[in-house]
Amino acid sequence: MSDAVITEKTIVIRGRKVVGGVAEGEALVTRDRISGWGGIDPRTGTVIETRHELRGQSFAGKVLVFPGAKGSSGWSAMFHMTRLMNSAPAAFLFNEMTTKMALGAVVTHSPSMTDFERDPLECIATGDWVRVDADRGVIEITKKNNASGDRS
């Protein structure tokens, strides 16, 4: 299958595992890359970068959907601190694999995926419920506008 599968309630996208595991949660989506050093507060998981569209929002416990990392190699250290302070994302979904992104995913221990058959930035909106099964390479998206509100 080369495209996402759409059922009445769920969109399914396949991709490649970076860090294994299964997690689910509310999506937090940005088309902006995220800076680690000086761009996030690791105590709260809040984006603090001045001109970032997510400034003031926390990714703690959420499925973070974004293009990838920007900035220095301090990126992975800042995201490692989010894990130590219990403010890490539940999972990472990102389009551009770099060494800092890979290391950040590994030290955060959050299930992470990349190399998708369809761009998750086109399919997932902030507030959607997302289940990431990185071991199987599958993302299941339940749109937030689901009329029944049922997320099972």
Tens of pLDDT, residues 79-109: 999 999 999 999 999 999 988 899 999 999 9
Pick the catalytic residue: 72, 73, 76, 112?
A: 72
Is position 72 annotated as part of the catalytic site? yes
User: Residue 148's pLDDT band (boundaries 50, 70, 90)?
Assistant: very low
More confident residue, 72 or 68: 68
DSSP 8-state secondary structure symbol assigned to residue 81: H
* pLDDT for position 111: 98
Amino acid occupying residue 36: G
DSSP 8-state secondary structure symbol assigned to residue 151: -
- pTM greater than 0.75 (yes/no): yes
State mean pLDDT over 6-26.
90
54: number of Cβ within 10 Å: 21
**The CATH classification of domain 5-142, taken from the options 2.130.10.10, 3.50.30.10, 3.40.50.20, 1.10.10.10:** 3.50.30.10
State mean pLDDT over 30-58.
94
| Both tokens assigned to 96 | 């551009």
More confident residue, 7 or 91: 91
- Residues, the chain: 152
Q: Is the pLDDT of residue 1 over 60?
A: no
- Give the closest residue to 113 by CA, choosing from 68, 74, 61: 68
Phi, psi torsion values for 78, nearest 5 degrees:
-65, -40
Classified as helix, coil or strand, 94 is strand
For the chain, the helix, strand and coil percentages under 3-state DSSP, each to the nearest 5: 15, 30, 50
User: Residue 144's pLDDT band (boundaries 50, 70, 90)?
Assistant: confident
Mean per-residue pLDDT over the chain, rounded: 90
Percentage of the chain modeled with pLDDT above 90? 76
